[in-house]
Every structure is written in C-alpha cells, then in structure tokens.
C-alpha cells in the first residue's frame, strides 16, 4: 500500500496527513507506529486521515504515534483545515469537521498567498463532570480543582478538564521544562484516569500568560498540544490566573485561547504549517 502524504505541524506538534475520501486505506496500529517512527518511518506525533463524514464536510481520523485512537487533536485539526483549503478539497472559510469528540467549526484566515495562514477553532464546551472526563473520582465538587495526584513520590494539585479528551492540568511555581518526562508517564496511567490522560504542567508568567509543557497520552512529551492549551486556559480562569483571553506559550510556539467561562465554548487560534510532501509504502 503506497500512501502520498503531507508532513505538517501546528506549533511543532507534527503529523502525517493524507486524505482517503474514497475509502481505499485501512490503517492498522502497526502501520501508524511505523509511519510515526522518527528513525524507521516519516516521524510524527500522530497520523491524520481525512475521511468522508455524514455529519460534516470531513471526518478527522486521528491516531496517536503509539497506534491508539484519540477523540480530538487541536493542533491536528488546524493542519487538516490547511490541507483541505490549500489543496482545493474545500473553498469554505467556515469549515465543519467531524471528530470523535463531535463536530467542530473551523474559521480559515487566508494569507497574502491565498493559502490558509491562521485557523480559529470552536473547540466546544469544556467538560468538568468526573465520569465524563473520565475519572474514577466520586461525589466531588464540580469542577474538580486542586485534586491531589501523586507521581513518583511527589504530590501535585490538579484541575481536571475534558476538551473531548481528558486533561490533568497542574500549576507549578518552578520551571516546568523537566516535569513532563519525569512525572508525566505515571500520571498518564494513574488509577484516577481509566482511559489514561494528557498531563499539562503550567507556570503562570503574568495574568493570562501561561508557559506550558505537556505529556500527551499515547505520544509522550510533545512540543505543543492544542486541546491541552485549551484545558490549561480553562483551568487558569477557574483558578483566577486568567480572564477570558489567555496566551499559552509552548515549546513550539504560542496559541491564543478564549473562554468566557460558565457554559460557553472555548476558541483556539493558531497557525498550521505544511513542511513537505512525500510518499511511503506500508
């Protein structure tokens, strides 16, 4: 099976992206692991296959680097929007895309060259009920703020949020750079999270300005996580560290997040970049 693909990234969270609107490709987890291998394959944090949808213009079939399926990927869906717009699969600047976390509406902002430059994504409402995140916590106040989570002998205080996928957001006073690799694996697989979880370590630089490092479920440490940035901004507002607008600084760049609180939707704005086009035989 030969696959023609685009290598893309959203704030250096990188993906192998291709479309299969005719239903020709049936990817296995072994295929995805081979594609994402940074020595023996193309190398990526995940694979995005753009498929037809009965509920939107396209369906984002997103698979993590370890071959596991993910409900949603905020950086990945911006790359999908750029792919379909730049390759004339759609000329819409308001683009509905189905994900495993529901239909998301994307706003495409073309640049001077006529190609998609920035994308604003309606990420939907954050979910706080423990059983929907999912978490095994019972009879707790919702939202879950400052929940004790232990990892490698250290006790953290976490805020739990779902953005279509689970997030454990931890605010720290120290440099967050070394924390994901040390504490992320144990928290990802903590008994509190029956479907595992993404883990964000956040330092508040000033009101509404957040430095974030992330350990992604199924990927390990990545340079950026769009849903994680949204979860971090939501948690920051819940804890009084941010207002409606937040700038989330990641190793791969910066994302703008807007959440007006209460039952409102979260909006994420960022870039998407096409790196190169290639093909691989699986």
**pLDDT tier at 192, thresholds 50, 70, 90:** very high
Question: How far lies 81's CA from each of 14, 59, 76, 214, 272, in Å?
Answer: 14, 11, 9, 24, 8
What's the pLDDT score for residue 140?
A: 83
Return the beta strands (E) in 152-282 as ranges: 154-162, 166-171, 198-206, 209-216, 220-222, 245-250, 253-259, 266-271, 273-281
Mean pLDDT, to the nearest integer, of 102-125?
97
Q: What's residue 240's pLDDT? A: 97
Residues 72 and 11 in one domain: yes
Asked if residue 244 lies in contact with residue 237, where contact means CB atoms within 8 angstroms, the answer is yes
**Residues of the domain holding 218:** 130-264
Phi and psi at residue 266, in whole multiples of 5°? Answer: -100, 135
Alpha carbon distance 46, 44 (integer Å)? 5
One DSSP character per residue, 149-171 reads EEETTEEEEEEEEESSSEEEEEE
pLDDT mean over 266-281: 97
Judged against a pLDDT cut of 90, whether residue 196 lies above it is answered with: yes
**What's the confidence (pLDDT) of residue 28?**
95
Banded model confidence at residue 264, pLDDT cuts 50, 70, 90 = very high
Residue 103 has pLDDT above 90, yes or no: yes
Same domain membership, residue 190 and residue 149: yes
- Which pLDDT score, from 0 to 100, does residue 173 have? 97
36 tagged catalytic: no
155 — phi, psi (to 5°)? -100, 125
The pTM of this model reads 0.92
What H or E segment, with its residue span, contains residue 81? helix 74-86
Residue 65 phi, psi dihedral angles, 5° rounding: -60, -25
Decide if 222 contacts 13 (C-beta within 8 A): yes
Could you read off the pLDDT of 124-178 as tens digits, one per residue?
Answer: 999 999 999 999 998 788 999 999 999 999 999 999 999 999 999 999 999 999 9
Burial of 28 (0-12, 13-18, 19+ CB in 10 A): exposed
| Percent of the residues in the chain that have a pLDDT greater than 70, as a whole number | 100
Same domain, residue pair 221 and 246: yes
Which of the residues 168, 219, 225, 230 is marked catalytic?
Answer: 225
Reply yes or no on whether the pLDDT at 25 is more than 90.
no
Per-residue pLDDT band at 26 (split at 50, 70, 90): confident
Same structural domain, 171 and 275: no
Instruction: Specify the pLDDT at position 263.
Output: 84
Same domain as 175, residue 229: yes
Taking residue 152's Cβ as centre, other Cβ atoms within 10 Å add up to: 10
**pLDDT in the model for residue 168:** 98
CATH of the domain at 24: 3.10.310.10
- pLDDT recorded at residue 31: 96
Q: Are residues 105 and 209 in the same domain?
A: no
| 197 lies in the same domain as 237 | yes
Q: Which of helix, strand or coil describes residue 228?
A: helix
The residue that leads in pLDDT, 97 or 140, is 97
- The whole-number average pLDDT for the span 239-258 is 97
- Total count of domains within the chain: 2
Judgement on whether residues 276 and 220 belong to the same structural domain of the protein: no
Shared domain check, 211 and 137: yes
Residues 241 and 277 both lie in one domain: no
My answer on whether 6 and 83 are in the same domain is yes
Do 112 and 169 lie in one domain? The reply is: no
Active-site residue, from 73, 79, 147, 230: 73
Catalytic-residue membership of 73: yes
* Mean pLDDT taken over the chain: 96
């Amino acid at each position: 099976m030969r696959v023609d693909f685009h290598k893309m990234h959203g704030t250096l969270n990188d993906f192998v992206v291709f479309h299969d609107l005719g239903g020709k490709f049936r990817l296995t987890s072994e295929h995805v692991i081979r594609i994402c291998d940074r020595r023996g394959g193309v190398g990526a944090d995940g694979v995005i296959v753009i498929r037809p949808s009965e509920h939107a213009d396209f369906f984002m079939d997103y698979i993590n680097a370890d071959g596991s399926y993910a409900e949603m990927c905020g950086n990945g869906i911006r790359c999908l929007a750029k792919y379909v717009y730049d390759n004339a699969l759609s000329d819409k600047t308001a683009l509905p895309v189905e994900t495993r976390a529901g239909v998301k509406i994307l706003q495409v902002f073309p640049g001077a060259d006529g190609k998609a430059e920035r994308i604003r994504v309606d990420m939907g409402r954050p979910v706080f009920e423990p059983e929907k995140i999912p978490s095994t916590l019972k009879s707790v106040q919702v939202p879950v703020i400052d929940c004790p989570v232990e990892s490698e002998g250290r006790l953290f205080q976490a805020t739990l949020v779902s953005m279509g996928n689970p997030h454990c957001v931890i605010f720290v006073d120290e440099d967050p750079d070394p924390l994901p690799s040390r504490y992320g694996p144990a928290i990802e697989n903590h008994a509190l999270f029956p479907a595992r979880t993404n883990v964000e370590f956040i330092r508040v630089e000033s009101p509404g300005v957040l430095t974030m490092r992330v350990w992604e479920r199924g990927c390990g440490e990545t340079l950026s996580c769009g849903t994680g940035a949204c979860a971090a901004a939501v948690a920051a507002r819940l804890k009084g560290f941010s207002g409606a607008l937040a700038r989330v600084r990641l190793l791969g760049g910066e994302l703008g997040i807007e959440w007006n609180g209460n039952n409102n939707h979260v909006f994420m704005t960022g870039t998407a970049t096409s790196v190169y086009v290639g093909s691989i035989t699986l």
